[in-house]
Chain A
């Protein structure tokens, strides 16, 4: 049993200069065999392991990660959480996650710094206005809080936005989801890792998967840089590298992996207390608790695993930011980085069984997977444990690309993918 984090443990450890905190998770060597192995130690993978142990009583499981946990897209995204998706299936999926976010810090006894500061999506042309109003109505029919704001209301909610109608892409209105917001990305990975470790899950870092062993149409285990691990169930949550793992098993996925960039500014005093996203000009901005502006740019349109994007993508985003927020004209950018996102043709994820028995994939989250971390883990754990999808992820099966029953969130999801 791990010591509970509380004000008392904080005071107690202050006396020993915070040098004797117990390790949040062990660093074990892999066992010869597990009941299930999760490939990928990001937020989604760790959450999957956590819920497998907690809700499905599968304790003899492992998470294998080629680098360090939370070092991929979990540590690279802009931490926006929202559930204002257009289609019913997506609304169910993302709002399931948002509901878990609301109690996650308490459940994990780990402060994930979930902050419901609201997310505003701006409209810059007549079609945006129509789409955003339609989406607001669809959200409300699905029980998701969403309101449409006119230009004055946008200005009132976020006064630093330039609402002049003379700019190239004037603000014509926007939508607001007040339950939406941000969370501390690293804390999500660390909180789930600590919780899973406590229940006996082995978290094995620096362990890259090199092959998947099959006997006919059934999996037998994985070859890794730390040797062969026998298992009957493999859950792959490898984000940008999902296709690489799929190829090892002789599968093809409907994915393309592309660089997505983000950047942060130097830290400044509080200036923007919400998240503002703008689809048409592709600029997202929020402010971290350290005071940095966190800015999301777009994807490059070519396949790349280089974790580097093109400079012109960043330039385009900053042009848009400067037009919408002239107050930031003298801000200096501190860091810029890229992550590799796996994008489905319909911009919706895959949480599914495959044609190979015991092989499960949770991928295709594209540019917006962070928000779904808890829900994704919960539903993927259900799918692995029962060998059947939960009703909330039934629509996100891999066969939809054969049947044609796509969940087309391209353009509908309040963000350009």
Chain B
């Protein structure tokens, strides 16, 4: 359990949020031209990093807005939180 600083509402308990998985996976511009391998890569394959990972989260029991987070998955420490469309503040 940890606290998340929602960019719209401020600090709230993690239980108010829903994790949305790996961030910055771009939806293919021309889906009809994708091979099966490329579809599998987009739909299913995940980095699943042990360490610093970029993620999407949704404040489902609050403002219901999506945002991005940089989190160390080995100890659940949050490095940064930033809005959708913004560039990640840390590498």
Contact = CB atoms under 8 A, between A and B. Distances in A.
B55 A303 contact: yes
Interface in B6-34: 13-15, 18-19, 21
B36 A303 contact: no
Interface in B33-53: 36-37, 39-41, 43-50, 53
A102 interface: no
15 contacts: A241-B50, A243-B50, A244-B50, A301-B19, A302-B55, A302-B57, A306-B74, A306-B76, A308-B76, A310-B1, A311-B1, A312-B1, A345-B44, A402-B40, A403-B36
Interface residues of B, number: 28
B36 to A, nearest CB: 5
A255 B14 contact: no
A263 to B, nearest CB: 15
B47 A252 contact: yes
A247 B47 contact: yes
Interface of A: 241, 243-244, 247, 252-257, 300-306, 308, 310-312, 342, 345, 401-404
B88 to A, nearest CB: 17
B58 to A, nearest CB: 10
A310 B14 contact: yes
Nearest to A308: B76
Contacts of B71: 302
Contacts of B13: 312
Nearest to A310: B1
B18 A252 contact: no
**Residue among A244, A255, A305, A310 with the most chain B CB within 10 A?**
A305
Given A302-B19, A303-B55, A305-B73, A401 B50 contact: no
